[in-house]
Amino acid sequence: MIPGGVNSPVRAFGSVGGTPPFMASAKGAYVTDADGRSYVDYVGSWGPMILGHANAGVLRAVREAAASGTSFGAPTEREVAIAEVVCSALPGMQQVRFVSSGTEATMSALRVARGVTGRKRILKFEGCYHGHADALLVGAGSGVATLGIPGSPGVPEEFTQLTIQAPYNDLDAVESAFKRWGDDIACVIVEPIAGNMGFIEPLPGFLAGLRELCDRAGALLVFDEVMTGFRVAWGGAQRVHKVRPDLTCLGKVVGGGLPAAAYGGRRAIMKHVAPEGPVYQAGTLSGNPLAMAAGLATLEALAEPGVYERLGERTGALVEGMRAIAAEHDVPFTASSLGGMFGFFFHPGPVRNFDDARKADAARFRRFFAAMLDAGIYLAPSPYEAGFVSLAHRPKEIDATLEAARGAFRRAATR
């Protein structure tokens, strides 16, 4: 009844084999499938569940909001409240517009960039996934990379001719692109920490270099923090790396597990968005009261002192433990983390871009994934996806995961 049996492609287990478990419920750090089997969950609905599943505060906020009505198609007080929190947290944001998905956020940000600059071209990085808008399905990561699709049928070549690609972490390639097309590049869009070709951090100076090149050419710098926003730190990767973009795209955590995303930036740029300006963007369910309630409750919990320190310690313990076990079994392996986000490759490292990521041992990943699933550990079913730890993951869940990893690394080490 559903293409591939799933409503988003990477869920289909195409790169790991087998049939995906159908989930029936979740609580804290665990998901439970329709057969009643529970797993320690490191997918976290692909990032939003930073407080853990079915968090009491979030559920209470959603119930209270639902009792007053599920959708109005009109302004609500919660939209203003969450906008104030988001704008106060992100250095690069003075105004924000809420939408319903990360794809909608990135698509809208690119339209604003083109409208403000009067230019046509955009520059993106190989392996960075920014949603499934036509112009962005070029060299994309995430499910596109998992399925081995270079682009997508249904996207006319003309729609992608204005999209320039460069390798991630390669400033020389970006500078060359600006020398060739600088007067026509509206923006550079980048995941400040890549999460859709695995977890790959920017090299020192990379983001600052993008900022400088954009300023020099009169282009805008767009950070896609759909994944990293409020996940790696309060205020996202731009606060960690101290680089201020012109526009930021958010999603996942800001919706608290409900469909919500956002884009925003400097007031001088956002004033071009309708109804204040001529760049049109709209959405019936934008700022939905249930999503705003869930997102606001999540951000309020994350604003408590010490939250990100605890989250980072737990994620770091997981990654350090996995590295140590891999070394015991003499398995080429590299892993890293920041905040509540992590990633690993069956590759000796370093992994700096999509070409490096594609050289990782896919067969070993499949064996490792299958062994972990058998042991009750639910990882992303793709070597090109980051993993997520929540505040509900306690030391006992981390210890159980590392115990399962010992057997999984043994299986991965076999040929």
Q: Which of 30, 129, 168, 263 is catalytic?
A: 129
Per DSSP, the three-state class of 192 is: coil
224 labelled catalytic: yes
Q: How far apart are CA 2 and CA 135, in angstroms?
A: 26
Could you tell me if 220 and 269 are in contact, meaning their C-beta atoms sit under 8 angstroms apart? yes
Helix axes 395-413, 362-374, angle to 10 degrees: 130
Give the residue among 285, 270, 230, 210 at the shortest CA–CA distance from 88. 230
**Residue ranges with strand state E in 240-333:** 247-250, 261-265
Beta bridge partners of 342: 337, 387
Task: Kindly name the residue from 41, 42, 124, 224 that is annotated as catalytic.
Answer: 224
Residues 6+ apart with CB under 8 A from 114: 120, 122, 186, 187
Beta bridge partners of 28: 53
Helices (H), 142-266: 142-146, 157-160, 171-181, 206-217, 236-241
Query: CA 176 to CA 198: how far, in whole Å?
Result: 26
33 is catalytic: no
Which stretches does DSSP call E strand in 278-353? 334-338, 341-345
Q: Please list the helix, strand and coil fractions of the chain in percent, rounded to the nearest 5, in that order.
A: 40, 15, 40
DSSP category for residue 65: H
Q: Where are the alpha helices (DSSP H) in 242-306?
A: 267-270, 289-302
Contacts of 304 (CB under 8 A, 6+ apart): none
User: Choosing from 30, 42, 124, 252, which is the catalytic residue?
Assistant: 252
Q: Is 120 a catalytic residue?
A: no
Q: Residue type for 263, please?
A: Y
- CB contact burial 222-243 (16+ within 10 A = b; e otherwise): bbbbbbbbbbbbbbbbbbbbeb
**Residue 340, φ and ψ in degrees, nearest 5:** -100, 25
* 317 Cβ contact partners less than 8 Å away, ≥ 6 residues apart: 395, 398
Tell me which residue of 212, 193, 202, 217 sits closest to 113, measured CA to CA: 217
Catalytically active residues are 129, 224, 252
